[in-house]
Every structure is written in C-alpha cells, then in structure tokens.
Structure 1
Amino acid sequence: MSDYGHDLVFGSFVTPGAGDPDRTVGLAVLTEQVGLDLVTFQDHPYQPAFLDTWTLLSFVAARTNRVHLAANVTNLPLRPPAVLARSVASLDLLSDGRITLGLGAGAFWDAIEAMGGRRLTPGQGVRALEEAIEIIRQMWDTETRGGVRVDGEFYRVVGAKRGPAPAHPVPVWLGAYKPRMLQLTGRRADGWLPTLGYLQPGDLTKGNAIIDDAAQEAGRSPRDVRRLLNVAGQFSAVGRGPLNGPAEQWVQELAELALGEGVSAFILAGDDPDDLRRFAGEVAPAVRELVAAERDRGVAERPQGTAERDPGTVERAQSTAEGDRGAAAGDRGAAAEPVAAPAVRPSRASANGGAFAVVPTPDDGVRRSDQQVWDESTRPTGPAPDPDRTYTPQEQATGAHLVQIHDGLRAELAQIHDLIEQVAAGEIDAGAARSHINTMTMRQNRWTLGVYCESYCRIVTTHHTIEDQSFFPRLRARDPRLGPVVDRLEQEHHVIHDVLEGVDRALVAYVGSPDGLADLRAAVDLLTDALLSHLSYEERELVEPLARLGVA
C-alpha cells in the first residue's frame, strides 16, 4: 500500500477545441462553478483544430477566480524553456498564483518537425527536458545574483536576466511513462502526471517505486512528488467495467487508487458538462471522505510510539487530515461570511484507552432568520456517558470523522453565502449559482449520516471486512435508548431537504425578478440556522455513542 499523505485534488481535462471556443471556455468556467480544483488542457501546437493552449489558459484565467490551471502537458520541443518560464511566471502573477507547469518531453515527432521543431530520440528527449527544467527554475529564481547560465546539449542560455518570479512556487509536473522519465520525475519534478488509459496493470506501482528510489538517491523524500492521474470513464446505472458504472463505483475505485497507489489528484478527461457535475458533486466529496476515514483509521490503529513506515503508509497521514478537509471544503471557495468553526481535537489517548477527547462543534446560538423550522427545546437527548469509561483512539476515530464530514458541510454553507453575494454583485448570474449549489454534497442529500454510510461502508468492507450497514439502524439496535434521538435526526434531515428546496425556489424566482434578492438571502439565512443547529445537535448526541458502541 502507498499513500503519500497529500491532500486530494480533483480537476478537469478539457479538449481545447477551436471549433466552438465559447463551449471550450464554458467548460473551464463550469469546472470552477461546480467546485473542482483544477482545469487542464492538452498542448498540441501543431493541431489546427485546437486553440493555442497558453493563449487559452490566459483567457480562462481572466474568466475565473479560484480554479488552478495547467497544460496537460506542455509540448516542450515547440516552446523554448526560457520563454516558457516567463510565460508561466507572468500568468501566475496575473492569476494570483493559480498556475502549475505540466511538462512533456514531446511526442508526434513528424508534426513537431513540420512546425520547425527538432526531432529527438527518447533518450535525447529526457536529457533535453532535464536541461529545460534547470533553465526554467533558474529563470524563476530572482534571489540568486547573476544571469541564467545553462550550457547544455540541447539548450544554451548564457546570461539571460532572471525573472519575473512567479506569485507562488509553481509546481512542475511531468507526463512520464518510461523508466528514464520516471527517474527524472523523482530527481527533479514536483508531480507525476500519467494517463490511466496508457498504463498497464501494475504500472502505477512500478512507476512509484522508480520515482521513490530516484528521489531518495537525489536526497529528496518520495513525498516531495505528488502522484496525479488523468482518468476517463462513463457514468451508468450498472457497472460494466473500471470507471464505467454508478458514482458509488467511481468512488470506491478512485479511493482504492488513492490509498493503494498514492494518487492524490484525479483529473477527469471529457467534455460532458453533466459528467463534470457528477464528478464534482457525487464522486469528489465521497472520495475525500473515504480517504480521510481510512487515514484516520490507520493513525488510530497504530500503537502510540510506533515509528511510521515507509512513505507509503496511512499512519503518516494524520498531519494532513486538516489539509484534506480544507481541500474538500474551504479551499473550494472563499467564504464571504464566517461560519461556526469546527472544534475537533483528535484523541491523544494511549492505545490502551483514555478520556474521550473528540469535542463536538458547539452551537453558538446565533440565528439569522426570524423563522423557525423546528422547536429545539423538544429535542430528545441520549444517555449520559459513563465518566469512568475509557476509549481507545480506534473507538474515537468514527466520531472524529463524523465531525470532519460536518466540517465540509459547514464550508459548503459558507460557499453558498459567497455565491449569493457574487450574484448580488453581478459577478455571476443566478443560474450559475443554482448549478453550483446543486452539485454540493448537502444538495445531493449525501450529508445525511445514513446515506453517507451506504458509500462509506462499501469501501470499509473492502479493507476491513466490516458489515455493510448504516449507522442509524446499528445505533438503535445496540442501544435502544438512542431511538428517540435517531428518530429526531431523521426528521430533521427531511426538514433540511425542504429548506434547501426553498433556496432553490428563491434562486429560480430571482432569475425572473431581481427584486427577489431579499427573499434569496432570507432563504439562505434559514438554511444556515437549520443546518448549523442540526449538525451541532447530531455531534453532541452521537460522537460518544459511536465510540462506546463500537460503530465503525
């Protein structure tokens, strides 16, 4: 098993078609609207049916605000590295640090040669790429005195002035398949970016081993190299093969790639907007949840004081749990208004047991709306915990993960507030906001504990042979005293669904009447009151029973 502990990233791989430029740009903008992290385009300058990739990236950068951008991957033989370095740095500055440099050694040499490029052998291509990386990084390094000097076999730069420096440390990802390219990736790159369809069974494992060995020989950590993957497939009601089936199948297969092969970025190749929405709304959040749960489980099961294994183990991932939640939620859109912050303190108890240390997120009592959807004073409570009982880290992991799931929903709520303010400011239209909200985890109704567990237990079964059941029936069965609490939580799930429908109706009404902004804000305020109150109540009543009853 290999898991390098990186936060998970999800993106799109859009065809840069010149036949309908508006559609090409629209798919890139949709990538941001549905909450994905990255939009990429292939780079084939010799292809007249395609837009020039760097021109397209610049245009898309100006049309978006948050999503990161990259060529997948840049055709180096037709883009001189010193000039490319300035192009990347300039666009990174203009886009406020949203550019990544994907690089390839070159392919389709007849077409490259026809465009004036030099034909190279595979070995020459690798050596030329390494020289180019050196030139590019020297161009970006404005802290070093003197000009850029690389007197290479393929590129010669003698005293070029450095700069500009990019807005952030731009990662360099290599499209690599053969051993020499993989070794270069381990020595010099920040990421490995192959396409799943070009790989044979076992290639990911073999490639990771070559990269890890090369990184260690170069004095680097294998964790310095992110593992990315271009994926393609079909969403269908019935599974027909790898990445060809329902969203739940996609979730399980991508989570297996993350935990078993160390892949931390999945980039969906295709130009179907509905597939983008499903990938963002149904697949990405669930994969993040499952990977976070498995990482937490690995940490909880490791005895205190046990050294971490090689860079592949899930135990190492505890320090990245916060990053995973940020990528799943907060990083997907800046919040215009603060929402209650999570209050999670993972257990530091010994493997033999200690005090319960998972802190539910408190309800701050703040209410934005004059309307009430339920009477909070009638909420039942469960049995009081035994003050003398101790809990192992493994027992506490499920409750901690429940709070993590809720953190993502709180962050999505912040995104909704941000979207409404963008609508009010005229930055996006109400239709785009509605499309984004419809892809969110809470809108898909996957945030309910029972529905979440349908997917969660599927992958847990794969790894731990745990019975595929939902939390609520198991809680009722193991402690009947929790029955009234579970009943109330299920009732509130239905109420929140209706409140979400009210937000949707307000958005539709606002399209026809801009005077409806006040009603739209009121609907979102009511959702905020209901959801934050409900999540706090659920955590208050369930995090301790989940540990006490051994529900995993």
Structure 2
Amino acid sequence: MKLGLHLAQQTYPAGPAALGADLAAAARAADEAGFGYLSVMDHFFQISRYGPPEHEMLEAYTTLGFLAAHTSRVKLLTLVSGVIYRHPGLLAKAITTLDVLSGGRAVLGLGAGWNEEEARGLGMRYPATKERFEQLEDALRYVRQMWSSDDYGFEGTHVSAQRLLNVPQALSAPHPPIMIGGGGEKKTLRFVAKYGDMCNLIAGPELAHKLDVLKAHCEAEGRDYAEITKTVALWLDTGSAGEKTGELLEELERLAGLGVDAVLGWVPGVPDPAVIERFATDVIPVTGKF
C-alpha cells in the first residue's frame, strides 16, 4: 500500500508571506519520507472540513507546478478537480505541462464538482447535476483523445473541438493516470470502469460495497478490475507525539485487506516536517508490506 500526503490546509502559523517556503519544505519532506502521492484541493474557498471559507486557498495547478520543482519522485495531483471549472482542452494542457516539467509525475484527478458556494461566489456557472455528469463524461473522453495519436475533432454533449493537437505530449505512458473521485454507483463508478485508471472513495462503512459495485461495472465494460488503482481518502493522524500510530496502522491494514492500493490524506501538524518525517520511520516501512 502507498500513502499520499494531501495538503488540504494552507493556513499556516507564519502566514502567506512564508507559504511558499512552508509548502516547499512539506513537499520535500513527503518526497524524502517515501509518500507515493502529493495532492492539493482544486477549490477556491476553503471547505468546512478544514476551516472557514476565508482561510487560504491557492490555485491548484500553479501550486502543483511549484511543488514539482521541489520534489523528484512523488506523483502530483488534485484531489480532485471539478470538471465545471476548466474547459477540458485547458485541463489536458495543464496536466500535460505538469507531466512534462515534472518528468512524468502527473495524475489527473477529476470529478463532477459539488461546491456551489464557491462557484456562485466567483460568478462561475454551476449546472444541474445531470449536466455536470455529462460534462464529466465529455472531459474524460476529450482528455483521453488529446493524449492519444488522434488529433482529429471532438464532439461531445457539451463540448466540440476541431483539432485536439497536444504538443508536446505527456511523458507518462500511455498517458497520465486518470483518477475519478466520487462514489456514485450509477455514473461515477461506471465512468471509472470505462475511462479511469484510478478511483478515489471515502474510507467509510460503505467502502466494501462501493468496491463491489465498481467490480460489477468492470465486468459489464469488459474491464479488468485489477487494472484500476483503488484509493481512499482518510486523515493520516499519528498524534502529536506518535501516540496514534498503532491505531492508524490497524486501519490502513484493514483497508489493504479490502483491496485498497493507496490512502491519500491530510496529516495534522503539517507543515512541520518532523510530523511528516515520522511516517518515514514508523508508518511507510510497515504499509509497504501490506
């Protein structure tokens, strides 16, 4: 099992003037500790799980480009981008750029989007659920074509394009992995089976059932369920002095037993590198055996 550090909070004691240095230090520590993934949220307002909307929130892809320059191994992604925020051509170009400049370390995290407050707050269009999922399928088809040798036109439900030219192409082969976030059983998990390389689910009581639903969709699509990397979101809390490490390892082992390949989560205490470094000695060597 791999772990991913999710930089969900960007409100740090030293304030915005030191935010670049704090994020760089956290990213380097995660890279050196052996985390497999490093993620940020694709939000414009902070979400309630981590603080009030007025807390700091940097733009996702600018931040990932910055983090790429301070790491050498860890995979870089959003957890996850809302499809309504970017035209799929711009999104594919942003991920391609990240992949090329990071040496092949980009992952596309994508979902239908849910935060109506921030969308309407900034004056962005927030479509009804049906349309958001239509846009999600359009985007999944679009980026897969843009990352192929087919640079012909594209026709989707809401997007059309004349030529999906993408130069340079991404370094990741056959393309940057596509992680679809969400546990919707009728559409989201079907999209994972049809278009995705990874899924991201909540590590809750319904997880085993969601994985069974995904397996059924894979069978219906003629897809090998084992090809899909199963990830879940979970707070990675070892306690202020490591007192919760055993409890966390028990939960991670349980998730591994369900077939989870990676756990992506916020580590309380970040940006203190010492909190992250604890994972290098006490957690990652153990989870690597799950």
TM-score when scaled to structure 1? 0.46
Residue identity opposite 2:66 in structure 1 = F
What's the counterpart of residue 179 of structure 2?
Answer: 173
Residue identity opposite 1:152 in structure 2 = G
Structure-2 separation of matches of 1:39 and 1:195:
18
Structure-2 separation of matches of 1:117 and 1:277:
40
- Secondary structure of the 1:216 match is helix
What pairs with 1:461-500 in structure 2 (closer than 5 Å)? none
Shift of residue 22, structure 1, vs aligned partner: 2.0
Matched, 1:205 2:203: no
What pairs with 1:429-440 in structure 2 (closer than 5 Å)? none
What's the counterpart of residue 17 of structure 1?
Answer: 10
- Secondary structure of the 1:234 match is coil
Residue identity opposite 2:264 in structure 1 = I
- Secondary structure of the 1:194 match is strand
Shift of residue 190, structure 1, vs aligned partner: 0.8
Higher alpha-carbon deviation: 120-129 or 82-91: 120-129
Higher alpha-carbon deviation: 100-109 or 247-256: 247-256
Q: Which has the larger radius of gyration?
A: 1
Structure-1 separation of matches of 2:237 and 2:10:
21
Structure-1 separation of matches of 2:136 and 2:69:
29
Residue identity opposite 1:269 in structure 2 = W
Matched, 1:251 2:249: yes
Structure-2 separation of matches of 1:118 and 1:101:
22
Residue identity opposite 1:17 in structure 2 = Q
| Seq. identity, % | 24
Structure-1 separation of matches of 2:193 and 2:76:
23
Deviations 1:291-347 (A, max 9, x none): 2xxxxxxxxxxxxxxxxxxxxxxxxxxxxxxxxxxxxxxxxxxxxxxxxxxxxxxxx
Unaligned runs of 5+ in 2: 47-53
Structure-1 separation of matches of 2:275 and 2:264:
12
- Secondary structure of the 1:263 match is coil
What's the counterpart of residue 85 of structure 1?
Answer: 92
Shift of residue 69, structure 1, vs aligned partner: 0.8
Matched-pair contact (CA < 8 Å) for 2:237–2:268: no
Structure-1 separation of matches of 2:236 and 2:69:
30
- Secondary structure of the 1:235 match is coil
Name the count of aligned residue pairs.
Answer: 270
Distance 1:25 1:271, change over 3 A: farther
Matched, 1:57 2:64: yes
As a proportion of its length, which structure holds more strand? 2
Matched-pair contact (CA < 8 Å) for 2:237–2:245: no
Matched-pair contact (CA < 8 Å) for 2:3–2:262: yes
Matched, 1:189 2:196: yes
Query: Structure 1 stretches (4+) deviating beyond 6 angstroms?
Result: none
Shift of residue 171, structure 1, vs aligned partner: 0.5
Unaligned runs of 5+ in 1: 1-7, 239-243, 292-552
Q: 1:67 aligns with which of 62, 74, 84?
A: 74
Residue identity opposite 2:232 in structure 1 = L
What pairs with 1:248-397 in structure 2 (closer than 5 Å)? 248-259=246-257, 261-272=258-269, 273=272, 274-289=274-289, 291=290
Distance 1:90 1:267, change over 3 A: same
Residue identity opposite 1:112 in structure 2 = A
What's the counterpart of residue 147 of structure 1?
Answer: 152
Residue identity opposite 1:219 in structure 2 = G
Structure-2 separation of matches of 1:17 and 1:158:
39
Residue identity opposite 1:159 in structure 2 = R
Distance 1:266 1:162, change over 3 A: same
What's the counterpart of residue 461 of structure 1?
Answer: none
Residue identity opposite 2:248 in structure 1 = W
What pairs with 1:472-551 in structure 2 (closer than 5 Å)? none
